[in-house]
Amino acid sequence: MTDRPTMRRGDALLNLIGNTPLVPLYFEAEQRTVWAKCEFLNPSGSIKDRLARTIVLDAEQRGLLHPDSTILECTSGNTGIAFAMVGAARGYKVAIVMSKRASGERRMIIRHFGAELILFDEPGYLAGIEMTRQMAANDSNYFLPCQFENQLNAMDHAHETGPEILKAVPGPIDVFVTGYGTGGTLAGCSKSLKAARKETQIVAMEPSESALLAGEEACCHWIEGIAGGFVPPLLRGVEIDSTCKVSSPEAIEMTLRLNREFGLLVGSSSGANTAAALRQAQELPKDAVVVTILCDRAERYFSTRLFQ
C-alpha cells in the first residue's frame, strides 16, 4: 500500500500561493529596466492571497477558527476575493463588507466563491471597518482578520515576499517602490530589503490626488486598491526614504502600456507602481536595479475606467 501524503483540506490551494516570479521589464523608449514581482499570478489573482493564507493558518494554529466560524473582513475587493477563495478551499464561511463603489466584478467573484457580501454606501474603508467591529461584538462566531492592523500582514511580506525578491534579483537592489492600501506590502518588504542592504531606497508611491504621506489632503483617485483616505497603522515607524506621486491618468496610461507593450493583464495599481518605478529608474544609471510589484489581474476591472 502506498503512503498518501497527510494533507488537510485546502492545502493544495494554499501551496499555490507565493513564490511568484520577478521579471525584468525593459522599456525601450526610456531605455530603462524595471523589475516587477508578478503577484497577479497568485491563485485568486492578487497579492492578497498571501495575507489570507497566513492569517487563516495562524488562526487555525491558535484555535481561533472552528466549523461555525465566519471570517469577516472589510476590503476594497482583493482581500475579500482572497479570503473567499481560502475559505472555500478550507471549508470556512466568509462574509465580506465592501463599499458599493467597488467594481461589480469583484462582488461577483466573491459571491461565486460562496461568500456572503455586505455592502455599505460610503467611499473608503472606515465605515466598513466599524460595521465589522459591531457585528463581531454581537456574535462570537465572527473571526476578524483586521488586515489594517494585523501585524501578520506586514510580517508575511517581511518573511516571504521580501526574501523572494532578494533571492531573484541579480546584485544589490537600488530602489524598491510600491503603493499602499493596508501598507502591509510596503512595511514588510521594506523591512527585509533594508535589513539586507541599508542603502536600498524605499519609495512609497501615492496617487497625486491623495498624497497623504507627502502631507496633502486625501481626495478621489482612480487607482484601484490603494490609498483609502488614511495613512494605515501598519506604516507607523516604517523606514520610507521618499514618496513618488502618480496621477490617476498616468496610472491608467502605464497600465495600458503593461497590457499592450508587455502582454501583462494587470490592474491600475500595477500601472501606478510601474510608472513610479520607471521614474526612479530614469533618475539613475541604466543598470540600476529598481523593483516594484504587479499587484493584481485586470479581469476584475472590466466595468472601470481601465477598460473604457
Ligand X SMILES: Cc1ncc(COP(=O)(O)O)c(C=O)c1O
Residue among 37 and 48 whose Cβ is closer to ligand X: 48
Amino acid at 121: D
Q: Does 176 bind ligand X (CB under 6 A)?
A: no
CA–CA distance, 185 with 79 (Å, rounded to integer): 13
The reply to whether 79 sits near ligand X by the rule CB under 6 A is yes
The number of beta carbons lying within 10 Å of the beta carbon of residue 178 is 29
Residue ranges of alpha helices (H) inside the chain are 11-14, 48-61, 78-90, 104-112, 126-138, 151-156, 162-168, 184-196, 248-261, 268-282
Spatial distance between the Cα atoms of 30 and 278, rounded to a whole number of angstroms: 8
- The cell numbers describing 36, all together, are 516587477
Out of 49, 209, 224, 250, name the contact with ligand X by CB under 6 A.
Answer: 224
Catalytic residue among 37, 44, 48, 191: 48
DSSP lists the bridge partners of residue 97 as: 74, 118
**39 touching ligand X, by CB under 6 A:** no
Residues 275 and 244: their CA atoms lie apart, in Å, by: 10
Give yes or no for residue 185 binding ligand X (CB under 6 A): yes
How far is residue 278's CA from residue 205's CA, in Å, rounded to a whole number? 12
Q: Is 226 in the site for ligand X (CB under 6 A)?
A: yes
Q: What is the three-class DSSP state of 195?
A: helix
> What 3-state class would DSSP assign to 116?
strand
Residue 206 sits in the site that holds ligand X (CB under 6 A)? no
Q: Does 20 bind ligand X (CB under 6 A)?
A: no
Closest CB to ligand X among residues 7, 214: 214
Q: Does 184 bind ligand X (CB under 6 A)?
A: yes
Residue 162 found at the interface with ligand X (CB under 6 A): no
CA distance 172 to 194: 11
Query: Measured between alpha carbons, how far is 207 from 247 in angstroms, rounded to an integer?
Result: 5
Q: Are 215 and 231 in contact (CB under 8 A)?
A: no
- According to the binding rule CB under 6 A, does residue 181 interact with ligand X? yes
State the catalytic residue, choosing from 76, 208, 269, 270. 269
Least Å from the CB of residue 208 to ligand X: 17
182: contact with ligand X by CB under 6 A: yes
- Rg of the Cα trace of the chain? 19
Q: Which is nearer to ligand X, 48 or 257 (CB)?
A: 48
269 is catalytic: yes
* Stretch near ligand X under the rule CB under 6 A, chosen from 83-91, 106-114, 178-186, 240-248: 178-186
80 binds ligand X (CB under 6 A): no
Is position 296 an interface residue for ligand X (rule: CB under 6 A)? Answer: yes
Q: State the minimum distance, in angstroms, from the CB of residue 3 to ligand X.
A: 39
Among 88, 267, 277, 281, binds ligand X (CB under 6 A): 267
Q: In the complex, which residues of this chain contact ligand X (CB under 6 A)?
A: 46-48, 76, 78-79, 179-186, 224-226, 267, 269, 295-296
Provide the annotated active-site residues. 48, 269
